[in-house]
Amino acid sequence: MLTAQGDRQASIATEAASGAASGLASHSSAASLRRKDDSRASLGQSPKSSDKKILFLDGLRALAILPVLGFHQVSNSLHSFFGSSGWVGVETFFVISGFLITKLLLSELGKAGTLNLKYFWARRLLRIAPALLVFLGVACAFGAGLSYALVAAFSCFDILLVTHFIPINPDAMPFAHTWTLGIEEKFYLILPLVLLAWRSRLTGPQQNQEARNLFVLLVSAFLCMIAYRSIHYLCFASSVRLFAGFDTHLDGLLLGAVGAVLLQYKDAFPRFTKLSVHWIVVALLFACFVYSTLKIGHPERIFSRNPNGILNWWMLKLPLHSLVTTLLLVSLFKCSNQNSPVHWLLSNPLMAFFGRLSYSLYLWHGIATLQIYESLINWQPQLTEHVDLVKYALCLGLACASYFLVEKPFLRLKEKFKP
């Protein structure tokens, strides 16, 4: 899944004025993000407001992981609350990842006049691959199929962009959620190449005009992708193919990138720059975000067939949720100094902590609540009296072990690949 989810958060929070990913792919630590960076000044943000931005991003990730855990039945209570909305969490991670990684790349392009692709891709590998490979190894040790683990790993880093990991065999189910990482990593293979092709324009005298052209390009790509997915739907592609294919599920990533362009090139969008966002607007957008998270519906319903063969308008819920999330994210940045209730909620230390664990939780929750849980119950049958508590403990324990023992050491290693 996720990725999201932010790559070099040490640079992102400051350079993005604000990472992300995972991942969904797509989740960087807020501790990295809090490192000082000169780009804070370029965005006119004080260290205090920048720290708030870091925390609210982690809080948003914490909210995004809840419907994923509920959809995959980590516990009965979560499933009854978020039972059909797991993919909404994935979409939120996509938006965050698309925004933060695009902002990072645009900031590097503005400062250096180019992009160091080797360093960028090295950072992506160090963010996603270590924890993923450990997870795949542990899953195989608990009986998951090795061949499916290899396919899942290949689909995440497939430079040919042709592999969609869509598991239907029960032996592959422990790896089912890795399709989101594959989508994110393929997007981040293409995105820097597109921006690099725009290099001379975005750093030249016509920067503002070219920034507007880039905005139009990303919006056009988003609309074309929706049309392309609709054609697949009319040609009777399966709901799983429509939902898990790289070429049919770029809503959140593309709209997140659009939001990054708006915030990075403020002079190119004077009306947007002058637009003042009040915290009440943020609260309303947050309410829409929460409502769509709870009420948006199961993926099978979204891509189900209409008897008359025409498009199922439930499909619009996917891009609409991505749009609401993007508007919420941009608005949170624009009114970050207003101390709104939403900022306060998302910046809560507990929310921030779970946001930092979101990539690990995403990776490990499935095997923790199935294979590892079953092994534990076989050893201690009396634990079945406390099913939810045991599953929560397993998820949190494995996520913390993954984050502190695997992810953090490699996050420190990423510092060697700064642009």
- What per-residue confidence (pLDDT) applies to 24? 43
- What per-residue confidence (pLDDT) applies to 226? 92
Q: Tell me whether residue 3 is in a domain.
A: no
Whether the per-residue pLDDT at 101 is higher than 80: the answer is yes
Q: How confident is the model at residue 324 (pLDDT cuts 50, 70, 90)?
A: very high
Which residues of 43-173 form beta strands (DSSP E)? none
**Number of independent structural domains in the chain:** 1
Task: Output the six-digit token pair for 140.
Answer: 């195989």
Q: How confident is the model at residue 26 (pLDDT cuts 50, 70, 90)?
A: very low
pLDDT tens-digit readout, 241-270: 888 888 889 999 999 999 999 999 988 999
Reduce the DSSP state of residue 4 to 3 states and report it.
Answer: strand
Mean pLDDT over 33-52 rounds to 38
- What per-residue confidence (pLDDT) applies to 285? 93
Q: How confident is the model at residue 339 (pLDDT cuts 50, 70, 90)?
A: confident
Q: How confident is the model at residue 311 (pLDDT cuts 50, 70, 90)?
A: low
Q: Tell me whether residue 167 is in a domain.
A: yes
In this structure, of 84-88, 107-111, 407-411, the range with the lowest mean pLDDT score is 84-88
Whether the per-residue pLDDT at 5 is higher than 80: the answer is no
What average pLDDT does the structure give for the chain? 79
Q: Tell me whether residue 296 is in a domain.
A: yes
pLDDT tens-digit readout, 173-187: 788 888 889 899 889
Q: Tell me whether residue 121 is in a domain.
A: yes
Q: Tell me whether residue 1 is in a domain.
A: no
- Hey, which of 254-258, 299-303, 415-419 has the most confident mean pLDDT? 254-258
The one-letter amino acid code at 190 reads I
> Exposed e or buried b for every residue in 255-285, given b needs 16+ CB within 10 A?
bbbbbbbbbbbbebbeeeeeeebebebbeeb
Domain ranges, residue 372: 9-417
Distance CA 27, CA 407 (A): 10
In this structure, of 11-25, 152-166, 187-201, the range with the lowest mean pLDDT score is 11-25
Q: Tell me whether residue 384 is in a domain.
A: yes
Mean pLDDT over 229-244 rounds to 82
Q: Tell me whether residue 2 is in a domain.
A: no
77 closest CA partner among 309, 386, 301: 386
Q: How many angstroms from the chain centroid is the CA of residue 205?
A: 34
Return the bridge partners of 26, or none.
Answer: 3
Contact 16, 42 (CB under 8 A): no
DSSP string, 95-147: HHHHHHHHHHHHHHHHHHSS--HHHHHHHHHHHHHHHHHHHHHHHHHTT--HH
Distance CA 379, CA 377 (A): 5
Cβ-in-10-Å burial (0-12, 13-18, 19+) of 98 comes to: buried
Q: How confident is the model at residue 362 (pLDDT cuts 50, 70, 90)?
A: very high
Q: Tell me whether residue 190 is in a domain.
A: yes
- What per-residue confidence (pLDDT) applies to 381? 75
Mean pLDDT over 259-288 rounds to 90
* Residues contacting residue 403 through CB under 8 Å, at least 6 positions apart: 29, 131, 356, 357, 359, 360
- What per-residue confidence (pLDDT) applies to 6? 43
